Amino acid sequence: MKKLQIFIRVNGEDHELLVAPNRTLTDVLREELDLTGTKHGCDEGECGSCTVLLDGDPVNSCLVLAAQADGRDITTIEGVANGSDLHPVQRAFVDQGAVQCGFCTPGMVLTAKALLDKKKRPTEHEIRAAVSGNLCRCTGYQKIVDAVQAASRGKTGAGR
Amino acid sequence: MLLPKFDFLRPTSIAETCEILDEYGESASLLAGGTDVLVNLKRNLIAPTHLVGIDRITELDEVRTTKGEIQIGSLATATALAENRTLKRRLTILARAAGGLGSPMIRNRATVGGNLVTARPAADLIPPLMVLDATVHLADSTGTREMPVDRFVTGPGETRIKTNEVLTHVSVPRCEPGTGGVYIKFGARHSCEISIVSVAAFVTLTPAGRRIKEAKIALGAVAPKPIRCPRAEELLAGAAPGKKAFTKAGQAAARASKPITDHRGSARYRRQMVDVLTRRALVAACQAAREDLAGRAR
């Protein structure tokens, strides 16, 4: 199994890595780059807890080989806040109580961010459709939808 | 779940891919979006020594419109199909089916070529491609060949693609005026769903809109592979669109289905749903065809 050299940009930082071909993007983010906000869930693309943005689009990082990410731009949950200044979606999740156990939250936030990057004022239906691949077993989704809607309307506590 | 060991190759052209396949044959597996291949690897259902990553071959990624047809590169993702302007307008049934496949994240990776070669009985893109009379195009190091989608898929997970071939694109003939197509995906939930039954109906009305000139029906998840319903189609040809014709067609479609009983539904339930959903799909397809006629007359 020949290792492969890859270049990836993660949260704005360039990395040159030597990876085994059978490592997924989830594995490399967590184990090589210590970005453990990306969760290992079902590992089969059903639950969405491993969601990252690949060139801006949400994907299940458990179903992307690290080698396939060569040359691509990746955003993980660690790259969403600006220092200690939370992203409006994160702020809204806190304000609306959209986080319970928190395991789905990184994926939810990234998917919601990707949606709002494309569409400033999505409808409730569009929000529900966008997060439909991110499973939450705690909240029943209502507070998550409320949070995304609040973020889209600029109604977050941080005043931005 | 750990992935087994394999070597990873990344060709940059169709020709280079074919050379690799000539060398490694059955021990190699093509990898595009990875939404099926990587799951099957993790479950130890396949054990290739080499994975051939084709996801960056730009010549496989294009949607092109020519005079007579629309060509869709095999690497086009479900998201690309669902959002492509030409496809939304001209191949609405395919764009809508792609928009309901898996989940948003799966759609961002899953490709039309992958949906065809994995050939699951409930594959969402195959019934729409069948009623659109799509053709599958294959290439190997010696040349190319093509065949109708219906012939390409032979059984559950089985197709006529050879181990040295790449699926390059599918082509769909341009639709004539007065056509409408509808795909109904029927399941227990809206996302990450493997259909209990799916029905694709595609109708062409006569210019005045009073008769059905031609109808095509394809069913998913109710046979070892997605199937067409020739008897139902015959009953509809020349008939006036309405309850009488649709009832007969629904019954004929139900008779054509060969469902199994599994945890998603019993055979009897599935057959009844084929009847109901075929009727509903025909009502909606005829409505879309009428709107198409009205739109073109304007």
pLDDT digits (tens, 9 = 90+) for B39-60: 999 999 999 999 999 999 999 9
Mean residue pLDDT across chain A: 95
Closest Cα in chain B, distance from residue A133 (Å): 5
- Per-residue pLDDT tens for B238-287? 999 999 999 999 999 999 999 999 999 999 999 999 999 999 999 999 99
Contacts of B190 in chain A (CB under 8 A): 132
CB contact under 8 A, B105 and A54: no
Contacts of B35 in chain A (CB under 8 A): 45, 60, 63
Partner A contacted by B192 (CB < 8 A): yes
Q: Is B267 in contact with B261 (CB distance < 8 Å)?
A: yes
**Minimal CA–CA distance to B217: which of B256, B186, B174, B247?**
B256
Percent of chain B whose predicted confidence (pLDDT) is above 90: 93
Q: Per-residue pLDDT averaged across B64-69, rounded?
A: 92
Mean residue pLDDT across chain B: 96
Q: Per-residue pLDDT averaged across A19-32, rounded?
A: 98
Strand partners, B184: B199
User: Of A23, A43, A133, which has the smallest distance from its Cβ to B103's Cβ?
Assistant: A133
Q: Is B28 in a helix, a strand, or coil?
A: strand
Buried b (16+ CB within 10 A) or exposed e, B181-202: bbbbbbbeeebbbbbbbbbbbb
Dihedral sign (CA B11, B15, B21, B22): negative
Q: Which residues contact B197 (CB under 8 A, 6 or more apart)?
A: B186, B219, B220, B221, B222, B259, B265, B270, B273, B274, B277
Interface test with A, best of B8, B83, B105, B107 (most A CBs within 10 A): B105
Residue count (chain A): 160
Q: Is B171 in contact with B69 (CB distance < 8 Å)?
A: yes
pTM: 0.95
CB contact under 8 A, B34 and A44: no
Residue B295: per-residue pLDDT: 86
Residue B191: per-residue pLDDT: 84
The pLDDT confidence band at residue B2, using thresholds 50, 70 and 90, is: confident
Residue A45: per-residue pLDDT: 96
Percent of chain B whose predicted confidence (pLDDT) is above 70: 100
A-B CB pairs within 8 A amount to 87
Contacts of A133 in chain B (CB under 8 A): 102-106, 191-192
Q: Could you count the other beta carbons within 10 Å of the beta carbon of residue A6?
A: 20
- Per-residue pLDDT tens for B123-176? 999 999 999 999 999 999 999 999 999 999 999 999 999 999 999 999 999 988
Residue B64: per-residue pLDDT: 94
Q: Is B7 in a helix, a strand, or coil?
A: strand
User: Of B39, B108, B190, which has the smallest distance from its Cβ to A58's Cβ?
Assistant: B108
Q: Does A159 score more than 50 pLDDT?
A: no
Q: Does B190 score more than 90 pLDDT?
A: no
Q: Does A1 score more than 90 pLDDT?
A: no
Q: Does B33 score more than 80 pLDDT?
A: yes
Residue B25: per-residue pLDDT: 87
Q: Does B220 score more than 50 pLDDT?
A: yes
